[in-house]
């Protein structure tokens, strides 16, 4: 019956002693604000990472070579740990074309495409005074179909380009904009010189593709943006003087494939070839599993920082209790008077618990607002879209109420149990 | 006439069960009729404050029988005593004891709040009471903006809030000058005559006691004199 009156009473108490109220609330404010800020940053990061990873294709499996672990041999061979001791990769270790075709034959229903790429390096495409930043990547046909490039003009790379190792390339519209004044037709069949660490490579442009902004890295301006130049995989290998075979490739599975099972099957299939290899084995990862571990990592960080914020809330709660104890001592006569006027112990207890809850809630509310502002600011500086987590706001409100009740109970109970006569006589 | 208070063989000791146990009240007997205006006088240390605390059910006697308006206090639970203080007794203290930083109006409303009265009724009754003590024009003032006499008038209005059967006034004029004290006493007389309130005045002043119908004199925890006036 008295809750409404008690809330008003507590608020007017706060108003009449603003500085003390603020200092009391500070611990709560800082605690709640940091929880909310961290949660906001975590939440925004999570949303952005998830969506950009999904854009990259959650159906993909990545097959790669991985060094075998020798942990069981450490004691036998004494000092044999650290990667430095391992033999470097040789052509014997690579995944071969034979393995790939055998694999394709084994699972025709599961494999949609296999994408392989090999990087030559980054450099600048130059034409007189004009230049554009590029990455040169050798790709197979599967790579192009997986990455769903949209051709604006010209043609894509063909099987014949691949087989013959032709020096033809696909370039982005951004590169055309920088080097050819945006004239896609003019760019076609033109030669392009690319400088990688002082070494020049010359290719013929056969197609221009539409540049899609990657939401994860958008810090570069239009002129400085680095885009990919695609050339046939075989051409890249020849230019790199690298051996036949691959260290990594990506599989796009068909829609009705169970990725979990297929991951295991793929791993088993390739490791048959590597059973006798001393140094390397095949490892298969999926976007999904990467996404999971990423999300897990983010939430672990969030939880860890939240625990620290929780400690700050605990300290804040103790501050509230401290002030409540001071307050009831100061108001001993008032408590005595209220008891003489007919207040029961329960209503005195309720009055002071309400007061402590109100302090914590007001502090919590300020903290939430401050946290959202700080979190959003941080997220905006990092270049993501801010999204506050509703969960953490609800959590904060409930938690600050809980602090109020927990740390208000002892002082309130002390007030409730005061002897009215002694309280009335208190000077 | 109906009996309002009936106290028999009231004893009060402090430091119970310790070597320095101290008996302050040595078996007091007192019967107060409804509508009586009586005073309890005694020097300081005579036990009159202790006696008042027992009459006002702020404290329980160590031994003895106390019946207040039909309620056996010995058997009542603590929360029931709160209810009795709330509805049957109106306290007026020497030090006023208004709740600080709270307007006169809110102070008067307080006992009604604990009684669970409706908001509208509380406001109406509080205004009416402040009017009786002639404090209507200052009802929005906080205690620190009021003089001693004004504070005491608000305190009397507050004591009357739940229309109690007894008003217990502990040295109500003790901190006031004689002129202001006179005004306060006039209010008590008015409440007694017009509303038929039972009023118990605790004082050390013989002149004030002379104004009441019956004078009980306490000394060293015993009633040493009782004089009924006409």
3-class SS letters over A243-301: CCCECEEEEEECCCCCHHHHHHHHHHHHHHHCCCCCCEEEEEEEHHHHHHHHHHHHHHH
* Contacts for A182 with CB less than 8 Å, ≥ 6 apart: A173, A176
Q: Which of A5, A333, A339 sits opposite B113 (nearest CB)?
A: A5
Give the pLDDT band of residue B230 (cuts 50, 70, 90): low
Instruction: With CA atoms as reference, report the closest residue to B209 among B48, B8, B30.
Output: B48
Smallest CA–CA distance from B84 into chain A, residue: A342
The answer to whether the CB of A282 falls within 8 A of the CB of A274 is yes
Cβ contacts (< 8 Å) between A15 and chain B: which residues? none
Q: Which of A16, A345, A347 sits opposite B114 (nearest CB)?
A: A347
ipTM: 0.93
Inter-chain Cβ pairs, chain A and chain B, closer than 8 A: 62
Q: Residues of B at the A interface (Cβ-Cβ below 8 Å)?
A: 53, 56, 58-59, 78-79, 82-83, 85-87, 91, 93, 97-101, 110-111, 113-116, 158, 162
Instruction: Judge whether A8 is closer than 8 Å to chain B, CB to CB.
Output: no
Q: What is the pLDDT of residue A214?
A: 59
Q: What is the pLDDT of residue A61?
A: 82
Q: What is the pLDDT of residue A361?
A: 92
Mean pLDDT by 10 residues, chain A (427 residues): 78 82 89 87 80 69 77 45 54 80 84 82 82 87 80 86 86 86 83 85 88 59 78 84 77 79 85 82 80 82 82 88 92 94 93 92 93 90 80 88 93 94 88
Structure tokens that stand for A129 in this block = 């005074």
Instruction: State the Rg of chain B over Cα.
Output: 18
Least confidently predicted of A239-243, A297-301, B69-73, B87-91: A239-243
Structure tokens that stand for B62 in this block = 């160590």
Cβ contacts (< 8 Å) between A1 and chain B: which residues? 116
**pLDDT (mean) for B54-66:** 94
Residues of A (327-346) whose Cβ lies below 8 Å from B = 333-334, 336-346
CB contact under 8 A, B58 and A424: yes
**Residue A28: in which H helix or E strand, if any?**
helix A18-57
Residue A277: exposed, middle, or buried by beta-carbon count in 10 A (0-12, 13-18, 19+)?
middle
C-alpha triplet A67, A69, A74: angle, nearest 5°: 135
Query: Domains of chain B: which residue ranges?
Result: 33-62+74-228
CB contact under 8 A, A342 and B59: no
Least confidently predicted of A242-246, B4-8, B12-16, B26-30: A242-246
CB contact under 8 A, A5 and B91: no
Q: What is the pLDDT of residue A87?
A: 58
Cα A4 to the center of its chain, rounded Å:
45
Smallest CA–CA distance from B97 into chain A, residue: A337
Cβ contacts (< 8 Å) between B91 and chain A: which residues? 340-341
Cβ contacts (< 8 Å) between B82 and chain A: which residues? 339, 342-345
Smallest CA–CA distance from B158 into chain A, residue: A341
Q: What is the pLDDT of residue A84?
A: 46
Cβ contacts (< 8 Å) between B81 and chain A: which residues? none
pTM: 0.70
In whole angstroms, what is the distance from residue B213 CA to residue B32 CA? 11
Smallest CA–CA distance from A418 into chain B, residue: B58
In the DSSP assignment, the letter for residue A73 is: G
Mutate to test the interface with B, among A3, A17, A336, A337 (most CBs of B within 10 A): A337
Look over chain B and give the mean of its residue pLDDT values, rounded to a whole number.
92
Q: Which of A16, A337, A345 sits opposite B101 (nearest CB)?
A: A16
| Distance to chain B for A423, nearest Cα, Å | 11
Instruction: Judge whether A83 is closer than 8 Å to chain B, CB to CB.
Output: no
| CATH homologous superfamily for the domain B33-62+74-228 | P-loop containing nucleotide triphosphate hydrolases (3.40.50.300)
Q: What is the pLDDT of residue A237?
A: 81
Q: Which of B78, B99, B111 sits opposite A342 (nearest CB)?
A: B111
Structure tokens that stand for A51 in this block = 């969506």
User: Tens digit of pLDDT for each residue in B170-219?
Assistant: 999 988 998 999 999 999 999 999 999 999 999 988 889 999 999 999 99
Strand-pairing partners, residue A249, are A63
Q: What is the pLDDT of residue A77?
A: 45
Q: Which residue has the tokens 């990594």?
A: A248
Sheet of A248-253: strand order equals A111-115, A248-253, A60-67, A280-286
User: Tens digit of pLDDT for each residue in B93-150?
Assistant: 999 999 988 899 999 999 999 998 999 999 999 999 999 999 999 999 999 999 999 9
Q: What is the pLDDT of residue A1?
A: 52
Q: What is the pLDDT of residue A86?
A: 52
CB contact under 8 A, A333 and B82: no
In this predicted structure, the answer to whether residue B58 has a pLDDT above a threshold of 90 is: yes
């Amino acid at each position: 019956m008295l809750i409404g009156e008690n809330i008003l009473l507590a608020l007017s108490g706060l108003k009449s002693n603003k500085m003390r109220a603020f200092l009391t609330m500070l611990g709560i404010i800082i605690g709640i604000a940091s929880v909310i800020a961290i949660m906001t940053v975590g939440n925004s990061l999570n949303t952005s990472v998830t969506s950009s990873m999904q854009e990259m294709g959650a159906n993909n499996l990545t097959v790669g070579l991985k060094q075998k672990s020798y942990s069981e041999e450490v004691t036998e061979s004494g000092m044999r740990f650290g990667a430095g001791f391992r033999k470097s990769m040789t052509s014997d270790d690579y995944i071969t074309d034979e393995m790939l075709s055998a694999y394709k034959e084994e699972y025709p229903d599961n494999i949609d495409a296999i994408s392989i790429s090999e990087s030559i390096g980054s450099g600048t495409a130059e034409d007189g005074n004009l230049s554009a930043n590029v990455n040169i990547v050798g790709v197979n046909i599967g790579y192009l179909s997986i990455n769903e490039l949209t051709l604006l003009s010209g043609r894509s790379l063909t099987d014949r380009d691949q087989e013959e190792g032709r020096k033809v390339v696909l370039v982005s519209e951004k590169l055309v904009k920088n080097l050819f004044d945006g004239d896609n037709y003019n760019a076609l069949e033109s030669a392009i010189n690319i400088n990688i660490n002082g070494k020049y490579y010359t290719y013929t442009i056969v197609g221009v593709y539409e540049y899609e902004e990657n939401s994860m890295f958008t810090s570069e301006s239009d002129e400085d943006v680095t885009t990919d130049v695609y050339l046939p995989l075989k051409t890249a290998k020849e230019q790199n003087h690298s051996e036949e075979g691959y260290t990594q490739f990506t599989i796009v599975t068909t829609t009705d494939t169970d990725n979990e099972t297929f991951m295991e099957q793929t791993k088993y299939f390739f490791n048959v070839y590597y059973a006798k290899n001393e140094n390397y084995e095949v490892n298969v990862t999926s976007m999904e599993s990467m996404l999971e571990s990423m999300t897990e990592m983010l939430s672990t960080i969030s939880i860890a920082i939240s625990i620290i914020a929780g400690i700050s809330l605990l300290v804040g709660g103790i501050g509230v209790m401290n002030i409540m104890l001071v307050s009831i001592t100061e108001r001993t006569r008032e408590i005595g008077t209220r008891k003489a006027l007919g207040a029961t112990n329960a209503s005195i207890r309720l009055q002071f618990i309400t007061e402590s809850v109100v302090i914590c809630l007001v502090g919590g509310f300020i903290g939430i607002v401050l946290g959202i502002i700080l979190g959003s600011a941080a997220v905006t500086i990092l270049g993501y879209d801010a999204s506050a987590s509703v969960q953490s706001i609800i959590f904060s409100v409930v938690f600050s109420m809980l602090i109020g009740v927990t740390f208000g109970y002892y002082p309130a109970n002390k007030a409730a149990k005061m002897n009215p006569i002694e309280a009335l006589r208190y000077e | 006439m109906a009996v309002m208070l009936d106290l028999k063989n009231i004893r009060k000791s402090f430091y119970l069960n310790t070597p320095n146990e101290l008996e302050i009240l040595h078996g007091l007997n007192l019967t107060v009729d409804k509508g009586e205006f009586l005073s309890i006088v005694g020097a300081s240390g005579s036990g009159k404050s202790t006696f008042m605390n027992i009459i006002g059910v702020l404290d329980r006697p160590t031994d003895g029988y106390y019946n207040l308006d039909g309620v056996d206090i010995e058997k009542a639970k603590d929360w029931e005593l709160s209810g009795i203080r709330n509805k049957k007794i109106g306290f007026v203290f020497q030090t006023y004891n208004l709740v600080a930083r709270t307007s006169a109006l809110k102070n008067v409303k307080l006992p009604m709040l604990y009684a669970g009265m409706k908001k509208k009724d509380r406001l109406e009754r509080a205004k009416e009471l402040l009017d009786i003590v002639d404090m209507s024009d200052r009802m929005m003032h906080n205690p620190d903006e009021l003089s001693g006499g004004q504070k005491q008038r608000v305190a009397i209005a507050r004591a009357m809030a739940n229309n109690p059967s007894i008003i217990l006034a502990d040295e109500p004029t003790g901190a006031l000058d004689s002129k202001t004290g006179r005004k306060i006493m006039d209010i008590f007389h008015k409440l007694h005559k017009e509303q038929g309130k039972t009023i118990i005045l605790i004082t050390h002043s013989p002149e004030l006691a002379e104004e009441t119908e019956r004078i009980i004199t306490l000394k060293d925890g015993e009633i040493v004199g009782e004089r009924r006036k006409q």
